[in-house]
Amino acid sequence: MSNASDHPSESQTVQDRLASLRQLAQAFPKEQREDVLLELDDLSTDLANTDGPSLQTLQQRLKRLAAIAMMARMFATSNQQAIEEFASNLVELTQATKIEVE
């Protein structure tokens, strides 16, 4: 895995995805919104770390974000489209970071 900051266009794509995910998270139910915003902050910090976080750490963060999105989808009475878009953007972020999540 290469650090996204090693490649400016990849870094911009990752930053764009993170910004989009933060915006979409506003549609989540309050509890899930707080959780997802904390995870996104931690993921952003990890990705910006020049020492490079462990692949396992990044995979765990992405898995937690996916789990939170699934939980929000189950509990949300509205904003289903935004939650679906969040999940789609999460997949795109995973592809942009070239992190395989199993």
pLDDT confidence bin for 95, thresholds 50/70/90: confident
Q: Name the CATH architecture for the domain at 7-97.
A: Up-down Bundle (1.20)
> pTM above the 0.85 mark?
no
Rounded alpha-carbon distances, angstroms, from residue 37 to 14, 32, 41, 56, 61: 16, 8, 6, 20, 12
Mean pLDDT estimate for the chain = 84
Question: For the chain, which residues make up each domain, given as ranges?
Answer: 7-97
Residue 4 has pLDDT above 60, yes or no: no
What are the tens digits of pLDDT across the range 14-57? 889 999 999 999 988 888 899 999 999 999 998 888 677 788 88
Report the alpha-carbon distance of residue 5 to residue 27 in Å, rounded.
Answer: 29
